[in-house]
Structure 1
Amino acid sequence: MSAGRFSWPPPELGAAEVQRFRFSPPVARAADEVLADGPVRVYRRLLADQESETGALVALRLLDAVHGPDHDGHDAARGPDHDGHDAARGPDHDVIDTARGPDHDVIDAARGPGGDVTTASVTALVAAAREASAPVVRRLTAGPPERIRTVLRHRAPLALLSGCWLDNLSSPATQPDALVNQLFVHRFRLKGEGRPEHGCEQRRRRALERYDLHLPPLNSDAFLTGTDCRPLTAWHGAYLLALSRLPAAHLPEVVGVHVAHYLLGVDGLLLGHPEPLTETMLTEVLDACVARTHTAPHGAADRRRLLAAVRRYLDIEAENLALLTAHAEHESGLSPDARAARVLLRHAPYAGAQHRRLRLAGRPLSAALDEGLSDPATLLARLRESPYLRRRPDGGCAFLDALKFGGAMFGVFDEQEAATLRSWVASVQDGAPAGPAAVADPGGAAAAGRWAAAVTRGPSPRETSAGPDAPDDRTLLHRLVDVEHHAAVLPLARARCEETLAAAEVLFEHGARGRFTDASYFDYTPQRLVRRVESVYWDKLVRTCAPPAGTPTREQVVTERKQSALCHLVDGVWAYRTGNTGRYDRTSQGMLFAIYADEMGRGELRKNHIVLIRQVLDDMAVDVPHLGSPAFLGQRELPDASYPFALYQLCLAQFPDSLHNEILGFNLGAEMFGLGELCLQQIDKLSAHGFDTSYERAHLTIDNMSAGHARQAAEIIVSFLDDVHRTAGPEAVQREWRRVWRGYASYASFVERRLVLSVAARERLRSRAGAAAPRDAGARAEAP
């Protein structure tokens, strides 16, 4: 049976033009505040916040500003004269020309002979832009190390985001799908195939370190400061992050940016190593995307969106190269005084009271530094004339002594900064005349202002307010699957998670009585966790194995399969947002991402677990619409009783940061449950009636306790808590562990439903008896 039978496009691929994005009423004001605070805050918010409605609305506003609400990609980027070229230009740069063909018509250059968009014409457009940009990149990487270092530092906020737009593309709304899985292959490679140290970000960080650029983590507040990120660069990065937040609704844009980014290859050229994705891989994706638009309901619109995204991204890259060129030229033209002023003034705000006893030209040095922020020339002139720079017979001076070990400024400046100051002092002592000390803005302000004006112009015509309601399980599942358009559901998802997790703690005391799990609590050590896992495996999943008692009828087997099918249709969903940009630097994150990759067949549609369960249902003639389709709301094949467990998994998936611990524990329960008695009995039942058993057999092998997902799930927890131990100590380990085990108990609470209900019933009886006891005792005391 062909896996292509189960390759659905995301629901109404082109319908994002008319679909509404629903948010809770207070969110619009919160988004206004974030956007009004400027690009640095927007960049940081989109990078750090992948769980809130506010982040999603900020992303939508930004995408509309770049592409326009009609996704034509022209009007939103245009200036008041409606010339889509001028809006992307700096004062001295025509960035559109960089991407144009010889006839200077970008649209025509990307269309085939029949006037339509084709793979060949789009790749030719990018190739023309690459040819035009190559000499620019060569000039940027020529010259002294400090010049190259400046360029790479200013490029880092974009270079280290590479591929972020694929972060959330594989989801319940898009799986299983041939194009999505092709792109997942790319993401898997960019993520180092589950090994963060081999991923694109870490490889690029190592390349930057060759230039002594040791940058803070992406999700730290210090990252943009450490890269001296300019507003225009922050807007560029924020756009890429916005695309990562709403990729299913913007699939043509994702493909356009993805192909243009890696075919253009700016970062590979700047860093001097090949891009991780080959041209063949990229053109195959482009082929698939263009081909599907010829059968999609909104195919012509999707092709326009694809082309517009390529155009816009080439504009952005040209805009950024112009800014980098301005930085490089500015760096080359700086006088020694300007270089020294830049270093001193970068640290002046933190001088504080340390310099209160020192004086410069009769004034406290701290006051002179404060004044230097607005008048660097006067500060440098006073330093030149001060005794601090006066050369002694040994060649030293008080200023240089302060930079050495034991000196007042030792450790304040990094190696490059200290070298800049030593060079400046030497030039002053050798009698070099003073040069310009002002450090002017190297450019980009006008273009950044146009971005800001477009982003803050007001609400998106696609956003709408969704008041609080209490949807039934079917509606809630539909909204969670299509959460991009239903962000207002997130508070409900959070409440359901907290309620389920709190209730599951009853198994901390009673979990040992579980039939297939043991969620009874224990203080963590790696050895105790392994013993518990192996005990559950042997005592509850393997030793109890026996063939099914009798052979159920065909109808009984089908009914049983329907009862569990919904959970299988969201297989691995709890981990689908793991390892996203800014949070992929731990071994445990890479391991969990690799497990999710296995569930998705590592990009091979025939191995995708959603395809496998669809094959089983198809073999039984159970016709169920795609989860993301509105038609699923009315399906009658899968029972209502199966919704709560699938819903909990979808809810948990929405909080990959704040419920990370709980997800690790839940993952352990899920990966172990694919082993042992139930799975083997299910294979026997299916085989007895000639039904497809591929789904069960896949889990029985891939989840094995020896080295498969069940073992890996325990190792992920050990690795995670080992990191906690090293960074926060043993007490923190036990706090974090309790949350991990609460996640395991939440899985067990669904599997051991009879046990949970019996414990709850017993507690109710005990509570009633306790409430009645004082009244009975009082009555006896009053009796004669």
Structure 2
Amino acid sequence: MHIFKTKPTAAPLGHESERVDARGAYRIAVDPERRLPREVLAAQLHTLLAVSGDEIGSRPSDLIEYAQRWSRQAAARHSELFDRYREDNAVYEVLVRRTVLGCAPLASMAGAWLQWLTCSGTCEDEFALRTLALYATDLGAGHARRSRGQTYLSLMRATRLSDYAEPIARLAADPRIPDRAFTLPATLLLASRLPSEFTAEIIGADLCLRAVATLPALAPLATHLPTATDWVRLAFDTAPGEEGPGALRRCLELAETLAADPDRAVRMVRGFRWALYQLEEWDNALFDELHRACDPAVEMAELVRARAREAHVYHHDFVLAGRSLSDWFTEARTDPGPLVRALADSRLIRPGRPDASPLITTLVAENGRMFRVFTDNDLAVIRRWIAALPTETPAASNVGRSTPPPPLSLIGLHRPHGPGATPMGIREAYHLLHAREQTDALHHYAAGYVRNWLDRVRETEVHLPTTWEPTGLRTWLLDQHDRHAVEYDSCDEPLPTREELIAESVQLAPMILIDGAWLQGFTDYSLASTEIGFSLFATYWDELGNSELRLNHPLIYRRLLGDMGINLPPTASKEFADWDGFDDKAFAVPVYWLSLSRYPQSFVPELLGLNLAIELSGVGGTYRRMRRSHASHGFDTRFIDIHSTIDNVSTGHSAWASDAVDIYLATVTGTGGAGAADQAWQRVRTGYAALDPVAIGL
């Protein structure tokens, strides 16, 4: 089934050493801190996305209908293949194994292409917030290990195929997965790292995948292995707690919003058509692989090819059909068919009788020359091949000569990003750091800013315990809440005047209008549903109102400023950073937040400490005083009230923050011992101290 008039133009070629294949691109794309060559990558992705397919229409509804029809037809084809071999356990196991592995690169990162479409620069934008809400359905927001990818991991575990599945970058090293399986997800994930360039295309591709729902190759598994995983969760079109295709409806709304703008509409449709083309090509290749693998000789040929490079070293003295076995293996690296046929005719094999064949009896026994050379799965492949061999000499076949589809080949992903411009002062840094993408200059600025900030607070005393105990921080958290309450009750400091309150509120704006920004690194798919990251993502999502504009903290604060007579430019604009009503020092803390958020792996302990300090800082005392101040001058207290509740120390952000620290330290203790945990705890303490601008000398 082919629906496209032309195929994508190949990406521009360069030096061989610069080429990155689909596996390499996938490995690069899943790294949340990886810097990419923006201009080089963007040009290649635009070329790859140039697919013709006018005959499928351009209206979102027409696109969806076409994709759904294709998905049903493709699923029926896969189901028919499975049904054909329902009673043949050996073939059935091959089909299951190859299907699960073949779908793994895409299904393990389902929805990840939406990961960077929201950031501090778009946290007040309705479209971005609706996109974040859609992405939250993929993550299973608020619950650990509930992303669609984690659900697929449970299928891989149930079928005992998860050897390379964690961390996700290792999946690219799984030799059992065909190269072609990485093309679609790698391209989408790379595009996700350039959101300002490819938002429309990403939404179009996402709409296609939502319309397809369950990957066609997985349809028979849902029928044959109904308890292996949560199959409803693996359907791209579903959303937790919603009836029917809730995720598809949400994505369609986003697509219709884009369709109102002619340029973005064209790009959205381009993304949809490209994704459908890639799905069709990949599914055709997978089906062909499955169909061929029903022949035991195909799997045997693949096993021989996989082992040929290593094996040719050890078999110079063994002669097979008049040739050194080493010579056979050299040839088998590109064409294993002749060696497979020669083995079938050799004394190592008894056709139809695996238990009598020396290749898998005496040779692999404890005293055999090939002891432990083959895995259990390898031996199963060889057994199946021998069992299927006819007792009479078969006709020659083309086993092992299939032509793979053209590989993804990208150039320059390992090149430096490009120098870019170093921020000329803290205001320009604030403006530039709102974007997810970064130049080398911005990377060095942000990393240096974080290290310098941390160095200046490293010896600062904080209220955290000097050592972390496995009992956790919950008791300490309650003690701090009590301390804040006592300090509030004993404070007789006069309330600020109206003018003082407005002036203070204005200087806090660069920080509060990016509420949650320190956590935006944990929107990354590989982090957002982990035991540590799920609550950090949930906190970030809460700060933005769970995508409800009326609950969005930056927007609530803007309305408060408006009541005070202060109307500021958009937060991510240069005009905002240059506004002369701000003092330069008003940008110091938010620039630290924005810089730190770029390193959700390198500075995990410091980030956890900062998060705990921020979420705890107001509860019990400061928020109560702020409420009195605002109420006394007739200003809305909504911003303060909402933080007083959601930051609470029992079930709110403060509790989540302390739990995240405890989980992290328990994990470090379990893997690195007490010494590693103590070092990590000191870094948490430093991160906690880093909230205090007084400690920095501001």
Structure 1 length-normalised TM: 0.75
1:684 corresponds in structure 2 to: 628
Question: Aligned partners of 1:130 and 1:642: how far apart in 2?
Answer: 52
Unpaired runs of 5+ in structure 2? 1-13, 86-91, 223-230
Say if 2:111 and 2:135, in contact at 8 Å, map to a contact too: yes
Q: Deviations over 1:169-219 (max 9, x none)?
A: 221111112222222222112111232422211222333455553352365
Residue of structure 2 aligned with 1:305, choices 264, 267, 274: 267
CA–CA separation in structure 1 for the residues paired with 2:275 and 2:283: 12
Local SS of the residue matching 1:747: coil
**Range with greater deviation from structure 2 (309-318 or 490-499):** 309-318
Work out whether residues 18 and 414 of structure 2, in 8 Å CA contact, stay in contact via their aligned partners in 1.
no
- Residue 253 of structure 2 is aligned to residue 287 of structure 1: yes
Q: Does residue 628 in structure 1 map to residue 572 in structure 2?
A: yes
Tell me the equivalent position of 2:88. none
Three-state SS of the structure 2 residue aligned to 1:37 is strand
Percent of aligned pairs with the same amino acid = 23
Find the aligned partners of 1:359 and 1:522 in 2 and give their Cα distance: 70
Residue of structure 1 equivalent to 2:105: 157
Asked if 1 retains the 8 angstrom alpha-carbon contact of 2:477 and 2:649, the reply is: no
Instruction: Provide the rounded CA distance (Å) in 1 between the counterparts of 2:474 and 2:584.
Output: 36
Paired position in structure 1 for 2:276: 314
Q: Which amino acid aligns with 1:611?
A: L
Amino acid of the structure 1 residue aligned with 2:269: L
AA in 2 matched with 1:477: Y
Alpha-carbon displacement from aligned partner over 1:305-333 (angstroms, at most 9, x marks no partner): 2222222222222222232233233334x
CA distance in 1: counterparts of 2:690 and 2:16, whole angstroms = 37
Deviates more, 1:682-691 or 1:246-255: 246-255
The CA distance in 1 between the partners of 2:111 and 2:363, in whole Å, is 41
Displacement of 1:627 in angstroms is 1.3
Residues 220 and 634 of structure 1: CA distance in aligned 2, closer, same or farther (over 3 Å):
closer
- 8 Å CA contact retained: 1:45, 1:55: no
Residue 32 of structure 2 corresponds to residue 66 of structure 1: no
Alignment partners' CA distance in 2, 1:125 and 1:497: 46
Distance in 1 (alpha carbons) for counterparts of 2:662 and 2:500: 41
636, 643, 646: which one aligns with 1:699: 643
Alignment: residue pair count: 658
State the alpha-carbon separation in 2 of the partners of residues 403 and 695 from structure 1. 74
- Change in 2 beyond 3 A, CA 1:689/1:220: closer
For 1:57 and 1:309, the matched residues in 2 are separated by 19
CA distance in 2, matches of 1:536, 1:686: 24
In the TM superposition, what are the counterparts of 1:115-126 in structure 2 within 5 Å? 121-126=59-64
Q: Please name the residue that 1:654 is paired with.
A: 598
Structure with greater Cα Rg: 1
Q: Which runs of 5+ in 1 are unaligned?
A: 1-30, 68-76, 78-83, 86-95, 111-120, 513-517, 759-784
What residue identity is the alignment partner of 2:600?
P
Rounded Cα–Cα distance in structure 2 between residues aligned with 1:403 and 1:679:
75
**Deviation per CA, 1:368-422, whole angstroms, max 9, x where unpaired?**
6455434534533554455544699995444333697857667655554332211
Deviations 1:37-73 (A, max 9, x none): 333222211112x324336556424432234xxxxxx
Q: Specify the alignment match of 1:253 in structure 2.
A: 201
| Structure 1 position 593, deviation (Å) | 1.5
Structure 1 residues 58 and 585 mapped into 2: Cα distance closer, same or farther (>3 Å)?
Answer: farther
Q: Distance in 1 between matches of 2:345 and 2:327?
A: 17
* CA–CA separation in structure 1 for the residues paired with 2:200 and 2:632: 46
8 A contact 2:105–2:181 mirrored in 1: yes
Give yes or no for the alignment of 1:380 onto 2:380: no
Give the Å deviation of 1:127: 0.8
Determine which of 191, 202, 208 is the counterpart of 2:150. Answer: 202
Counterpart secondary structure, 2:103: helix
- Call closer, same or farther: CA 1:531–1:178 in 2, change over 3 Å: same
Query: Structure 1 355/685 Cα, relative in aligned 2: closer, same or farther at 3 Å?
Result: farther
SS in 1 for 2:122: coil
8 Å CA contact retained: 2:304, 2:340? no
1:546 & 1:175 partners in 2: Cα distance? 38
The offset of 1:554, in angstroms, is: 1.1
What corresponds to 1:481 in structure 2? Answer: 434
Give the residue type in structure 2 aligned to 1:316: Q
Are residues 212 and 405 of structure 1, via their aligned partners in 2, closer, same or farther at CA, if it must alter by over 3 Å?
farther
Deviations 1:715-757 (A, max 9, x none): 1111122222333333332233333332222224x2xx1x565
Superposition map of 1:414-493 within 5 A: 415-428=376-389, 430=391, 433=394, 436=397, 438-445=399-406, 448=407, 452=409, 455-456=410-411, 466-484=419-437, 488-493=441-446
Match of 1:552 among 496, 511, 517: 496
Q: Deviations over 1:80-105 (max 9, x none)?
A: xxxx54xxxxxxxxxx4xxx6xxxx3
Q: Secondary structure at the match of 1:198?
A: coil
Aligned-partner Cα distance in 1 for 2:258–2:298 = 56
Cα pair 2:109 2:525 within 8 Å, conserved: yes
Q: For 1:729, what is the secondary structure of its paired residue?
A: helix
Shift in CA distance, 225/661, structure 1 to aligned 2, threshold 3 Å = same
CA distance in 1, matches of 2:139, 2:551: 20
Q: Distance in 2 between matches of 1:65 and 1:399?
A: 49
Is residue 255–residue 286 contact of structure 1 (8 Å, CA) maintained in 2? no
1:330 alignment partner, one of 292, 299, 305: 292
Instruction: Say if 2:564 is the partner of 1:586.
Output: no
| Aligned counterparts of 1:34 and 1:709: Cα–Cα separation in 2 | 48
Aligned-pair CA distance for 1:629: 2.1
Contact 1:529 1:714 (8 Å CA) reproduced: yes
User: Is contact 2:312–2:329 with CA below 8 Å preserved after alignment?
Assistant: no
**Which one of the candidate residues 701, 716, 723 is aligned to 2:667?**
723
Superposed displacement of residue 137, structure 1: 2.4
Contact 2:38–2:417 under 8 Å retained in 1: no
Q: Give the whole-Å Cα distance in 1 for the aligned partners of 2:489 and 2:372.
A: 65
The whole-number CA distance in structure 2 between the counterparts of 1:405 and 1:570 is: 65
Tell me the secondary structure at the aligned position of residue 724 of structure 1. helix
Mapping for residues 494-643 of structure 1, pairs under 5 Å: 494-507=447-460, 511-512=461-462, 518=463, 522-527=466-471, 529-530=473-474, 532-540=476-484, 542-546=486-490, 549-584=493-528, 586-643=530-587
Aligned match of 1:182 in 130, 141, 145? 130
Matches of 2:620 and 2:15 in 1, distance apart?
53
Residues 61 and 459 in structure 1, CA contact (< 8 A), matched pair in contact too: no
In 2: Cα distance, 1:261 partner to 1:179 partner = 19
Q: Can you list the C-alpha shifts for 1:480-513, whole angstroms capped at 9, x where unaligned?
A: 0124375641110011011111221121xxx15x
Task: Give me the CA root mean square deviation.
Answer: 3.7
Counterpart code for 1:614: R
Q: Is this contact kept in 2: 1:253–1:309, CA < 8 A?
A: yes
| Aligned-pair CA distance for 1:653 | 0.6
Matched, 1:191 2:139: yes
Aligned partners of 1:488, 1:698: CA distance in 2, in Å? 38
In 1, the alpha carbon distance for the partners of 2:265 and 2:313 equals 61
Distance of 2:168 and 2:362 partners within structure 1? 30
Task: Report Cα offsets for 1:250-292 as digits up to 9, x if no partner.
Answer: 3322321222210122527724334234545434443355347
Amino acid of the residue matched to residue 426 of structure 1?
Answer: A
**1:3-402 correspondence to structure 2 within 5 Å:** 36-48=19-31, 50-54=32-36, 56=38, 59-67=41-49, 77=50, 84-85=51-52, 96=53, 105-106=55-56, 109-110=57-58, 121-141=59-79, 142-143=81-82, 144=85, 145=92, 146-209=94-157, 211-217=159-165, 219=167, 222-226=170-174, 228-267=176-215, 270-271=218-219, 272=222, 273-274=231-232, 275=235, 276-277=238-239, 278-291=244-257, 294=260, 299-332=261-294, 334=295, 336-350=296-310, 369-370=329-330, 372-374=332-334, 376-384=336-344, 386-389=346-349, 395-401=355-361
**Partner SS for 2:690:** helix
User: What is the TM-score normalised by the length of structure 2?
Assistant: 0.84
Residues in 2 aligned to 1:539 and 1:32: alpha-carbon distance in whole angstroms: 64
What secondary structure, in the 3-state scheme, does the structure 1 residue paired with 2:422 have? Answer: coil
